[in-house]
């Protein structure tokens, strides 16, 4: 596949440094699994980070530190994958979707739009979810209270920034306002990480927002 839209360089740098929380890390890792060019960019950033680390003075490692680190890697909390892994789901996303996209339990959030929260750890305030928009339907025009990462898993949508297809990712902050419209035909399914509720322009949608859970 040809991926045209990639995360902002600052987001990739945070991923490389390990400072993103679980929802954002999952979206970026899934994007990289789908994008060869994204992996090449990440490789260059990691090389830069490695060079910077090498220029730092050596830190003293206390006796037994390695043994304690290895002892902490127990694997607790990691759910085993089913024997037959769903081919429709990229590897970083499989622990969250053991039944694949076909097994998702969707919640209606508006005409032609449904969402599903994915279980993540409690290491931050961010949220990881799936959003499904029926072909030809749109998400109400909105801005963001924080950062929103949206990765296309199936189908495609368009907004004022262009057409986003499978593997493409949009990386928006609170300064961006847009209205994604799913391309006609196949439903558009996206993996989304957000750290604040969406801010809808329509007063009616804002009034109903607690019911939608968006």
| Residue 159 scores a pLDDT above 80 | yes
Least confident of 5-14, 142-151, 202-211: 202-211
CATH number for the domain whose boundaries are 1-76+91-214: 2.60.120.10
Average pLDDT over every residue of 122-143: 81
Are the C-beta atoms of 135 and 180 separated by less than 8 Å?
A: no
Average pLDDT over every residue of 123-143: 82
- Which tokens go with 32? 């990289």
Average pLDDT over every residue of 3-13: 92
Q: List the one residue out of 59, 74, 3 whose CA is nearest residue 32.
A: 3
Query: CA 112 to CA 173: how far, in whole Å?
Result: 25
The rounded mean pLDDT for the chain is 80
Least confident of 79-88, 118-127, 139-148, 197-206: 79-88
Average pLDDT over every residue of 2-28: 92
Q: Which residues contact 28 (CB under 8 A, 6 or more apart)?
A: 7, 11, 12, 15, 20, 149, 169
pTM of the full structure = 0.76
More confident residue, 76 or 97: 97
Are the C-beta atoms of 128 and 192 separated by less than 8 Å?
A: yes
Average pLDDT over every residue of 99-123: 86
Torsion angle of the four alpha carbons 107, 146, 159, 142, in this order, in degrees rounded to the nearest 10: 70
What pLDDT is stored for residue 26 in this prediction?
96
| Residue 17 scores a pLDDT above 70 | yes
Q: How many CB atoms lie within 10 A of CB 138?
A: 18
- Which tokens go with 197? 């509720």
The percentage of the chain sitting over the pLDDT mark of 70, rounded to a whole number, equals: 69
Q: What is the DSSP letter of 87?
A: T
Tally the C-alpha atoms within 13 A of residue 8's C-alpha that lie toward its C-beta.
12
């Amino acid at each position: 596949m040809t991926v045209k839209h990639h995360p902002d360089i600052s987001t990739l740098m945070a991923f490389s440094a390990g400072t993103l929380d679980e929802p954002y890390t999952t979206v970026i890792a899934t994007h990289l699994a789908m994008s060869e060019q994204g992996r090449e960019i990440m490789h260059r950033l990691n090389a830069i980070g490695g060079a910077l680390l090498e220029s730092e003075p050596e830190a003293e490692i206390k006796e037994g530190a390695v043994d304690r680190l290895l002892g902490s890697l127990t694997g607790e909390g990691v759910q085993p994958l089913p024997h037959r892994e769903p081919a429709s789901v990229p590897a970083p996303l499989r622990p969250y979707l053991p039944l694949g996209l076909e097994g998702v339990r969707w919640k209606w959030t508006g005409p032609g739009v449904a969402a599903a929260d994915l279980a993540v750890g409690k290491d931050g305030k961010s949220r990881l979810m799936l959003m499904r928009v029926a072909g030809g339907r749109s998400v109400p025009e909105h801005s963001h209270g924080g950062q929103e990462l949206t990765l296309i898993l199936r189908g495609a949508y368009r907004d004022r920034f262009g057409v986003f297809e499978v593997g493409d990712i949009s990386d928006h902050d609170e300064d961006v306002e847009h209205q994604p419209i799913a391309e006609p035909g196949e439903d558009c399914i996206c993996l989304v990480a957000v750290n604040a509720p969406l801010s809808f322009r329509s007063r009616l949608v804002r009034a109903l927002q607690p019911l939608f859970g968006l």
